[in-house]
Amino acid sequence: MVGVLALAGCSGSNGGDTPGEDGELTPVSAAVIPIADTAAIWLGVDQGFFEEEGLDVTIDTAGGGAAIVPGVVSGDYDFGFSNYVSLMFANEQFGTDTPMSLSVVANGVTASEDLEKDFGGVVVRADSDIQTAADLAGRSVSVNTLANIGDSTVSQIVADDGGDASTIEFIEVGFPDAPAALENGQVDAAWIVEPFLTQAVDAGARVLFYNFNGFDPELDVAGYFTTAQTIQEKPEIVEAFRTAMKRSLEYAGDNPDEVRRILGTYTEISPELIEQIALPRFRADVDLDAAQRLADAAVEFSGLSTAPELDTFFALD
């Protein structure tokens, strides 16, 4: 049976500490990456879901988890957005029983239900002799960050296809530069996400496989997190944020046209490209079986010491 972990919380009353109870909104900051993956939180602010939960959310943007994680740990941000493998590695650094340990309080983005198209994939040149995932054994593959969700999922897919994943040479190349690195022969294959995936395909690259739903059709990729200290000291704010994010995710999932509309307000993706790119799935639940597989793959292929205890990694209340 597929295990599903609900991250939804119910708004409650806890005296004067409840956000918005006295008519004043509680200021909250969230750091995110300005990509399609974070459309739900932007829509939530746009639709007033956070205000209705008593929160005045300020969204700050960053280039990636390398800036967001320390910002949340230091208290510069109340909440942050990151992929789950990054957070697993961060907890190995900060410890799982410290005020700095990180827990996911709301899911963020999930692999597409359309197995023929997803928002992340491995591409090769049109004339490449690489035809299957197993063919990546002994080849070079670009990823945006070494020892992370890219090489974890790609390696698992190659291994499942019968290839020796340990012989893949992963090379760190930023997503914007990966299509050129592929075209110039610097790498044999490139793992990229939208909108760069669509741009690469339009330029002639061939999709070898989609590494998120190819890894697991129910894979949850990234989410919104905070520290154990924040969860302990500000439980009403965490609960309100979680509830507003649940509403935001449900709204995003039900309204793909609204997702594409909001993308034009916080990204530099052209309107034409926004209409072409594959959107991720937005849902409030986390699939535990897929999360466990991801953690195990990070241990086997990316150097994570141990898989986290999922009941603490995902904060339910």
Write down the domain spans for the chain: 4-113+218-313, 120-209
3-state DSSP assignment of residue 278: coil
Q: Provide the β-strand partners of residue 5.
A: 286
Residue 195 preceded by cis peptide, ω within 30? yes
How much is the pLDDT for 65? Answer: 79
27 Cβ neighbours under 8 A, 6+ residues apart: 55, 56, 58
- Model confidence at 98, pLDDT cuts 50, 70, 90, reads confident
Check pLDDT > 90 for residue 7. Answer: no
How much is the pLDDT for 21? Answer: 65
| Alpha-helical regions (H) of 95-148 | none
- Model confidence at 67, pLDDT cuts 50, 70, 90, reads confident
Check pLDDT > 50 for residue 12. Answer: no
Please choose, from the candidates 187, 244, 252, 285, the residue with its C-alpha nearest in 3D space to the C-alpha of residue 36: 252
Shared fold status for 4-113+218-313 and 120-209: yes
pTM: 0.91
Angle at the Cα of 232 from the Cα atoms of 228 and 234, rounded to 5 degrees = 110
- Model confidence at 241, pLDDT cuts 50, 70, 90, reads very high
Percent of the chain with pLDDT over 70: 93
How much is the pLDDT for 240? Answer: 98
Q: Lowest-pLDDT range, 56-65, 161-170, 259-268?
A: 56-65
CATH 3.40.190.10 fits 4-113+218-313, yes or no: yes
Please choose, from the candidates 221, 220, 222, 243, the residue with its C-alpha nearest in 3D space to the C-alpha of residue 28: 243
Average pLDDT over residues 83-88: 96
Q: What is the C-alpha to C-alpha distance for residues 146 and 157, in angstroms, rounded to an integer?
A: 17
Give the E-state strand segments of the chain in sequence order: 4-6, 26-32, 55-61, 79-83, 102-110, 120-124, 140-143, 169-172, 189-193, 206-209, 220-227, 285-287
What amino acid occupies position 273?
A: L
pLDDT digits (tens, 9 = 90+) for 29-63: 999 999 999 999 999 999 999 999 999 999 999 98
Q: What is the C-alpha to C-alpha distance for residues 36 and 263, in angstroms, rounded to an integer?
A: 6
How much is the pLDDT for 146? Answer: 95
CATH class of the structural domain 120-209:
alpha beta
Q: Lowest-pLDDT range, 15-19, 67-71, 151-155?
A: 15-19
